[in-house]
Amino acid sequence: MGSANDIPVELVEEIRGKALHAPRPRALTPEQRDALIQRIRDLLKANNAVLITHYYVDEQLQILTDATGGYVGDSLGMADYGNRHEATTLVVIGVRFMGETAKILNPEKRVLMPDLGAECSLDLSCPIEAFSAFCDQHPDRTVVVYTNTSAEVKARADWVVTSSNAVDIVAHLHANGEKIIFAPDRHLGRYVQQKTGADILNWQGFCVVHDEFKASELRRLMAEYPEAELIAHPESPAEVLDMASVVGSTTQLIRAAKESRADTLIVATDMGIFHKMHEAAPDKQLLAVPTGGESATCVSCAHCPWMAMNSLDNLAAVLEDGSGHEIHIDETVRRKALVPIERMLEFSRAQGKV
């Protein structure tokens, strides 16, 4: 497997700085929380809107989404659900590329997000100019990008994948004799290469959450809980994945937690997933993979700083007045980006995965 150049140090520092300074929502009293929930329920009806929410956001938002008939899931499920639901306004509670994907698939609908500043370090570590120039240098390769990318990067791609289907899609391309550029997550790219044997040039982007999981600290935790089972998201470093008994997307990890015979699970992904995992496997003890040594600091501490920007406060505000919170995408870019997303959805539907 080959790799693209490392991400420039200045860009890495800029991304870490953004993660560290992402604004945190205020703490709510029970009365404030209940009042906001009632207001949001009323506003959803008034706006003919539905909530489409990622597993990594605050559990109150996940509970409210379920209670109002919306959808809580991973990126693949979110894209598919928004595409099928009849609401005229989709409120995407996650990070920006998720709102963009919803808009690419649903140009006729209004797509709102509680905070358009909720970004993703994978998206940020794959700027369109550098990525497009890299693709131009390798015109013989099929361009496969993870869904955690901008609309412009998707528009440059032949295929979009999520962690639910990346291995299957790359295996399919490899069987057709295609050589691949994979972007932007270096750990997922390495994992996919290992699973498929495909010829991959791997972009070197990173997730601030999964990149911080530390194998040395994990070994200590596993020694402390020798009966525990480790389940991991493929954005985690190779040393962590090598120790895991299950590697999969967020949805696949929730299923694995339910089916596991172990009483204790060590979970290598964002802690926001614990809400749905507890629902699926209420009797199991869930432990987060450590993010650093005893004296280390972490940027994310196992919870995405941009996912954490979503709150009941800014959700209510966006439903009151969506201006400044709506996703807009250039129509030429949108049409181009739609092609690889639809290719992915058709592939996954044919496999019965969505």
Please report how the helices 331-350 and 166-175 are oriented relative to each other, as an axis angle in degrees rounded to 10. 90
Looking at residue 194, the DSSP 8-state letter turns out to be H
Decide: helix, strand or coil at residue 252: helix
208 is a contact residue toward ligand SF4 (CB under 6 A):
yes
Q: How far is the CB of 177 from ligand SF4 (least distance, A)?
A: 31
| Binder of ligand SF4 out of 40, 112, 180, 207 (CB under 6 A) | 207
Burial of 175 (0-12, 13-18, 19+ CB in 10 A): exposed
95 is a contact residue toward ligand SF4 (CB under 6 A):
yes
Stretch that binds ligand SF4, among 25-33, 132-140, 196-204, 206-214 (CB under 6 A): 206-214
Cβ contact 107:338 at 8 Å: no
What's the maximum distance between 2 C-alpha atoms anywhere in the chain? 60
Stretch that binds ligand SF4, among 116-124, 127-135, 240-248, 284-292 (CB under 6 A): 116-124
| Binder of ligand SF4 out of 122, 161, 169, 266 (CB under 6 A) | 122
Nearer to ligand SF4, 274 or 306 (CB): 306
Cβ contact 103:327 at 8 Å: yes
| Binder of ligand SF4 out of 141, 167, 270, 314 (CB under 6 A) | 270
Residues from 233 through 262 that contact ligand SF4 (CB under 6 A): 235
Decide: helix, strand or coil at residue 24: coil
Nearer to ligand SF4, 250 or 348 (CB): 250
Stretch that binds ligand SF4, among 24-32, 109-117, 202-210, 243-251 (CB under 6 A): 202-210
Q: How far is the CB of 299 from ligand SF4 (least distance, A)?
A: 10
153 is a contact residue toward ligand SF4 (CB under 6 A):
no
Q: How far is the CB of 29 from ligand SF4 (least distance, A)?
A: 28
Total residues interacting with ligand SF4, rule: CB under 6 A: 14
Cβ contact 166:200 at 8 Å: no
* Sheet strand arrangement including 264-268: 246-247, 229-232, 264-268, 285-288
Per-residue mark of binding to ligand SF4, 45-84 (x: CB under 6 A)? -----------x----------------------------
304 is a contact residue toward ligand SF4 (CB under 6 A):
yes
- Concatenating the DSSP letter of every residue in 160-182 gives EE-TTTHHHHHHHHHHTT--EEE
148 is a contact residue toward ligand SF4 (CB under 6 A):
yes
Chain center to CA of 48: 26
Alpha carbon distance 31, 9 (integer Å) = 46
Decide: helix, strand or coil at residue 80: helix
93 is a contact residue toward ligand SF4 (CB under 6 A):
no
Nearer to ligand SF4, 125 or 348 (CB): 125
Alpha carbon distance 190, 237 (integer Å) = 9
209 is a contact residue toward ligand SF4 (CB under 6 A):
yes
Stretch that binds ligand SF4, among 125-133, 241-249, 280-288, 299-307 (CB under 6 A): 299-307
162 is a contact residue toward ligand SF4 (CB under 6 A):
no
Cβ contact 120:306 at 8 Å: yes
* Sign for the pseudo-dihedral over CA of 346, 347, 348, 350: positive
Contact footprint for ligand SF4 (CB under 6 A): 56, 95, 120-122, 148, 207-209, 235, 270, 304, 306-307
